[in-house]
Amino acid sequence: AQYKVIVVGASGAVGQEILQVLEEKKFPVGDLKLCATSRSAGKEMLFKGNTYKVEETTPSSFDGMDIALFAGGAASKEFGPLAAEKGVVVIDNSSHFRLDPEVPLVVPEVNPEDVKWHKGIIANPNCSTIIMVVPLKAIYDAAGIKRVVVSTYQAVSGAGAEGISELTEHTKAVLAGDEVVPAKFQYQIAFNLIPHIDVFQEMDYTKEEWKMVKETCKIMHDDTIGITATTVRVPVYRSHSESINVETKRKMTAAEAREVLAKFPGIILEDDPSNKKYPMPLFSSNHDEVFVGRIREDNSLDHALNMWVAADQLRKGAATNAVQIAELVIKYGCLGKR
Ligand code: 2RA
């Protein structure tokens, strides 16, 4: 069978990745429609060797479509429910519906079954959450989890195409001795780290940090897991990295952790310090797996482990995860109610 697919926000960084992943994974696209705001309407994009013109998103854009992949941003709030009303299965990258109890929040390697109870909208978690919960699930199944402490090192492309160009511009300006003009980021991002992603909220945590806390408990179906996060923007173009400390319920050695992580779907273990083997964003980019390494027992706490992970946040962190959800919708036969 083939499916009528509409990509909303097609011209942005995530939208472009969605098209690439749909093509790479040979998703059964029968009919493709690319939509975006009026600002991007008219742009031409390639898919499977054919040129498609980006149209402005309107309510009628969704007529007769089977699956809508929203790349993120405000469009989901305006058009998501409307598309679902029309019987289109909406897979949304924005944060808008993630914590809605009526909306499943899904990472296919972690909670695939949640796709089955969708009521028209399925939410894609935040990229930094997806990258963390894949290895956490392997540990959780083997030893249980009491608490997680995570610090992230997030690429500038998490802030879209403007984030990418700002790193380039700031780097050139610094090297040329010119004035640096922050626009997308709060400060100069070249040769700097900015511990501020999204807005500050209660307890002086940012919205990005609260996303990691709340989304993880929903995906893992376990509100007893204690999570605290610090999210940081770093001068890296692509791939988020994360330093994760996990306190487990049952003792787990580093060797046991390596064993379960190596076997877990969607993970590539890169953990051989004597040969300088560990994950790095330069090498995890353009892949779909979460790379895990630097696994060590916590020297300061009995039942705890450290690990360092890196993954392409435009792919596994967004586009690939969304397309994998679409594949589950087909596998489980839970397309929209016409
Ligand atoms: C970021 N995770 O990295 C957020 C949104 N993609 O900016």
Residues 229-254, mean pLDDT to the nearest whole number: 98
Q: Using one digit for the tens of pLDDT, what is the confidence trace for 27-79?
A: 999 999 999 999 999 999 999 999 999 999 999 999 999 999 999 889 999 99
Residue 254, class by beta-carbon neighbours within 10 Å (0-12 exposed, 13-18 middle, 19+ buried)? middle
Query: What's the pTM value of the predicted model, to 2 decimals?
Result: 0.97
pLDDT at residue number 315: 97
pLDDT at residue number 16: 95
CA of 172 to the centre of ligand 1 (A): 24
User: What is the C-alpha to C-alpha distance for residues 200 and 196, in angstroms, rounded to an integer?
Assistant: 8
Closest ligand 1 atom number to CA of residue 155? 3
Q: Using one digit for the tens of pLDDT, what is the confidence trace for 146-182?
A: 999 999 999 999 999 999 999 999 999 999 999 999 9
Asked whether 148 and 136 are in contact (CB, 8 A), the reply is: yes
Closest ligand 1 atom number to CA of residue 154? 3
User: What is the C-alpha to C-alpha distance for residues 260 and 142, in angstroms, rounded to an integer?
Assistant: 7
pLDDT at residue number 97: 97
User: What is the C-alpha to C-alpha distance for residues 305 and 197, in angstroms, rounded to an integer?
Assistant: 26
Give the range among 9-13, 241-245, 267-271, 308-312 with minimum mean pLDDT. 9-13
Q: Cβ of 44: how many Cβ atoms within 10 Å?
A: 10
Asked whether 187 and 194 are in contact (CB, 8 A), the reply is: yes
Residues 326-334, mean pLDDT to the nearest whole number: 97
Asked if pLDDT for residue 300 goes beyond 70, the answer is yes
Q: Cβ of 19: how many Cβ atoms within 10 Å?
A: 25
Q: Using one digit for the tens of pLDDT, what is the confidence trace for 202-223?
A: 999 999 999 999 999 999 999 9
Instruction: Give the tokens for residue 169.
Output: 């511009």
Residues 79-95, mean pLDDT to the nearest whole number: 97
Task: Give just the sign of the alpha carbon dihedral 199, 200, 206, 207.
Answer: negative
CA of 249 to the centre of ligand 1 (A): 31
- Name the residue among 192, 191, 185, 194 with its Cα closest to residue 166: 185
**What is the pLDDT of the chain when averaged over all its residues?**
97
pLDDT at residue number 338: 56
Closest ligand 1 atom number to CA of residue 240? 3
**Residues lining ligand 1, CB < 6 A?**
126-128, 154, 158-159, 197, 208
E strand intervals along the chain:
3-8, 29-36, 44-47, 50-53, 55-56, 67-70, 89-92, 121-123, 145-154, 226-233, 240-248, 267-269, 290-297, 304-311
Task: Reduce the secondary structure of 97-122 to three states and give it as a string.
Answer: CCCCCCCCECCCCCCHHHHHHCCCEE
pLDDT at residue number 336: 78
User: What is the C-alpha to C-alpha distance for residues 281 and 311, in angstroms, rounded to an integer?
Assistant: 7
Q: Is 243 helix (H, G, I), strand (E, B) or coil?
A: strand
Asked whether 117 and 198 are in contact (CB, 8 A), the reply is: no
Of 126, 132, 185, 216, the residue with max ligand 1 atoms within 8 A of its CB, to mutate for a pocket test, comes to 126
CA atoms lying within 13 Å on the CB side of residue 162: 6
Q: Cβ of 253: how many Cβ atoms within 10 Å?
A: 12
pLDDT at residue number 73: 86
> If pLDDT is split at 50, 70 and 90, which confidence band does 17 have?
very high
Contacts of residue 321, defined as CB under 8 A and 6 or more positions apart, other chains included, come to 106, 107, 108, 124, 125, 130
Q: Using the 8-state DSSP alphabet, how is residue 210 labeled?
A: H
- Is there a binding annotation on residue 2? no
CA of 144 to the centre of ligand 1 (A): 28
Asked whether 27 and 319 are in contact (CB, 8 A), the reply is: no
Report the percentage of the chain scoring pLDDT > 90: 98
